[in-house]
Each structure stands twice: as C-alpha cells, then as structure tokens.
C-alpha cells in the first residue's frame, strides 16, 4: 500500500525469511561463522539456540544456501521436526534419493542411508542435516539422530547435524536420557536480539534493500522507541516498522515519528508496553481505514479533514 509513497520497490519488512535482504548483525554473523567452522571441522553435532523471532529460520536458510553453493556438502533440510524416528529416516532417505524410501522398514532405511553416505564421501561430499525448530523433536527421533552420527569411517564422520531451536531445546537435552547426545555436541551458540545501537542500521539497510535511496525515514526518537517496544527482536522490529510506515502513510508524512511507533506497538500484542492509557485499545484499525481512504482519494483535498481524526 505505501511502497510507492516512500519510493520502495517492495515491502521492506516482510516476515518471510529472505537471504537477499539479510542484514548482517553481530550475533547472526558469529553464529554463522561458528556453523561454518564446525561443519568444515567435521565435528558431528552443532547447536544454535535462539528465542522466538531472533532469526533462526533465516540463519538456517543462509546456511542452506552456503552449503548448496559448496560442492563439498550435500545439505538435507528438515523444516518439520514433528517426525517419528521412522519418518525422519524416510525424510533423509528421500533427500538422498534412495529408491522406495517411503515404504522401507527402519533397519533397511538405516542400511541404505549408510551405503549412500559412504558413496557420497567417495565423491568428496559430506551430508549435513539441518533441523529447524529442533525443540519439538520427539525423544525417539532425537535418539535416531544420535545413532545416525555413529556412521563414520576411520577418519571422518559420514554426516553432520545442525540443530536450531528455541531455549526449550536446552531443557530437553539436559535430560539424563540424552546425555550421550549432549556429549556429542561439539559447538553451540546462542542467537541474541540486536543491540540498541544496531536498530538504525538494520532499519535503514532493510529500506535500502527494498529500493529506498533517500534520507532515513525513521527519526532518532522513533528508533529509540522501536527498540524499547521490540527489545531488539528482529521479527518484532519488522512488524512494528511495517505498521509504523502504514501509520506515517496514513498521516501523509514521509517521516516515521515516535507516535507512529507507539500506534504500531498498540496494535501488536507481543510488544513490551510502556505506559498505559487508551493506546492499546485503539490500535491501528483507524489508521488502516484512513490509509485505504487516502489511497482512494490520492491525497486529495479531503485528506486534511480525515487526518483530524488521528490520535
């Protein structure tokens, strides 16, 4: 709705993980470097933990892209962790293009996977299994993963496994029954929210990646309030920025102010509330309606009258 108004090619704060608009942040860069090092060192298990909205899926997509571009690796991406041990084996066998993967028994699948991985090593490639939302893996499936890492030659492992999950993953792995798996995790890191001083860089970089070429749209005050409401969590930042741009568009202004951020936060339940009053009850519903009307009227003479109703 507001892209043309701000000189954008497309929406800059979409929630869809897009490596083409990746903004390099300290924590993300550190986790990605750790993943590369662990995989290149043939360490077996590596674990990345991050709270909701910190960018684990985007990190996994970036890693997947890196592995696909490197002939030394055969990436296997498992986006759905809610698989039984047999379901996981079938998913891996299917990715390896093993014939009859969907009907074979567990033992036959395990043997077929081992032979296929040995053949890949002979070709100079190592399989890397990437599992997102790993905190949701059933216990039997976690044990199956551990058994898969037993597959190795005298000099190297046949497969490496990357687990990405919410902090609950640590709680799951701390259980006594997973002590063998826990001991095999050679490297682990935590994906942190961005620091306050990175918010302005992040917002401007996303705007520029979407075609914007002008001066910063978000005022310094808006950026400070943006950090307060989002706590530096990228997903919340994206949601708030999108709604704040909509708010500024509804006002007919090309600068996002603290008031726009406040209206956006009032419409977003996951944000941290600062102060009370009637803002949470109001939200952005009037702004959305005004934005639609302004679009229809193309900012005609009646727009000034409509804007009198803005909070």
pLDDT in tens, 114-141: 999 999 999 999 999 999 999 999 999 9
pLDDT of residue 306: 39
175 and 230 both lie in a single domain: no
Q: Are residues 209 and 128 in the same domain?
A: no
Per residue in 201-234, pLDDT tens?
999 999 999 999 999 999 999 999 999 999 999 9
Beta bridge partners of 188: 47
| Of the residues 191, 211, 245, the one at which a domain ends | 191
Residue 103 confidence (pLDDT): 87
First to last CA, the chain: 21
Helices (H), ranges, the chain: 3-6, 26-40, 56-68, 85-95, 106-122, 139-148, 168-173, 179-183, 199-209, 220-230, 234-251, 258-266, 279-282, 285-297, 303-307
Please report which confidence band the pLDDT of residue 23 belongs to, taking 50, 70 and 90 as the band edges.
confident
Q: What is the pLDDT of residue 128?
A: 96
186, 221: one domain: no
**Domain end position, chosen among 140, 175, 191:** 191
Size (the chain), residues: 311
Check whether residue 52 and residue 166 sit in a common domain.
Answer: yes
* Residues sharing a CB contact under 8 Å with residue 296, sequence separation 6 or more, in sequence order: none
| Cα-based distances in Å from 80 to 134, 137, 150, 166, 173 | 9, 9, 23, 14, 19
Indicate if 116 and 240 belong to the same structural domain: no
> Does residue 47 sit in the same domain as residue 148?
yes
- Residue 293 has a pLDDT of 52
Q: Judge contact between 40 and 183, C-beta under 8 A.
A: no
Least confident span in 32-36, 99-103, 293-297: 293-297
Higher pLDDT, 242 or 294: 242
Q: How many domains does the chain have?
A: 2
| One domain, residues 178 and 222 | no
Identify the pLDDT of residue 303.
42
Query: Based on the domain organization, do 268 and 213 belong to the same domain?
Result: yes
Residue 20 is assigned to a structural domain of this protein: no
Q: In whole angstroms, what is the distance from residue 215 CA to residue 220 CA?
A: 12
Local structure of 44: helix, strand or coil: coil
Q: Which pTM was predicted?
A: 0.82
Q: Is the pLDDT of residue 286 over 50?
A: yes
Same domain, 35 and 104: yes
Question: What integer pLDDT is reported at residue 310 of this predicted model?
Answer: 44
Do 209 and 164 fall within a single domain? no
Q: Which residue has the higher pLDDT, 240 or 275?
A: 240
Compute the distance between CA of residue 258 and CA of residue 250 in angstroms, rounded to an integer.
15
Residue 170 counted as domain residue:
yes
Range of the domain at 295: 3-8+197-307
pLDDT: is 96 or 43 the higher one?
A: 96
Give the pLDDT of residue 135: 95
Residues 177 and 211 in one domain: no
Q: Both 152 and 253 in a single domain?
A: no
Phi/psi region, residue 53 (left: phi>0; alpha: psi -120 to 50; beta: rest), is left
**What is the reported pLDDT for 289?**
53
């Amino acid at each position: 709705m507001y892209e043309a108004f701000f000189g954008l090619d497309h929406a800059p704060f979409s929630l869809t993980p897009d490596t083409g608009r990746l903004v390099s942040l300290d924590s993300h860069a550190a986790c990605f470097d750790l993943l590369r090092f662990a995989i290149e060192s043939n360490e077996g298990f590596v674990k990345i933990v991050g709270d909701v909205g910190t960018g684990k899926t985007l990190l996994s997509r970036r890693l997947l892209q890196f592995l696909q571009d490197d002939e030394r690796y055969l990436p296997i991406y498992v986006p759905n962790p809610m698989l039984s041990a047999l379901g996981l084996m079938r998913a891996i066998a299917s990715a390896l293009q093993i014939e009859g993967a969907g009907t074979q028994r567990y033992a036959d699948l395990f043997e077929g996977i081992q032979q296929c991985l040995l053949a890949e090593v002979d070709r100079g490639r190592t399989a890397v299994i990437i599992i997102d939302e790993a905190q949701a893996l059933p216990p039997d499936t976690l044990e199956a993963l551990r058994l898969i890492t037993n597959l190795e030659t005298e000099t190297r492992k046949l497969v490496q496994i990357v687990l990405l999950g919410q902090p609950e993953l640590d709680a799951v792995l701390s259980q006594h029954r997973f002590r063998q798996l826990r001991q095999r995790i050679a490297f682990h890191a935590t994906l942190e929210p961005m620091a306050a001083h990175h918010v302005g860089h992040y917002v401007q970089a996303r705007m520029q990646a979407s075609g914007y070429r002008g001066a910063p749209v978000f005022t310094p005050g808006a950026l400070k309030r943006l950090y307060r409401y989002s706590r530096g969590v990228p997903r919340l930042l994206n949601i708030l920025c999108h709604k704040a741009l909509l708010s500024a568009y509804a006002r007919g202004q090309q600068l996002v102010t603290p008031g726009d951020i406040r209206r956006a936060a009032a419409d977003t339940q996951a944000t941290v509330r600062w102060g009370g009053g009637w803002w949470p009850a109001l939200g952005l519903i009037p702004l959305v309606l005004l934005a639609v009307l302004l679009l229809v009227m193309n900012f005609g003479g009646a727009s000034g009258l409509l804007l009198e109703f803005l909070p």
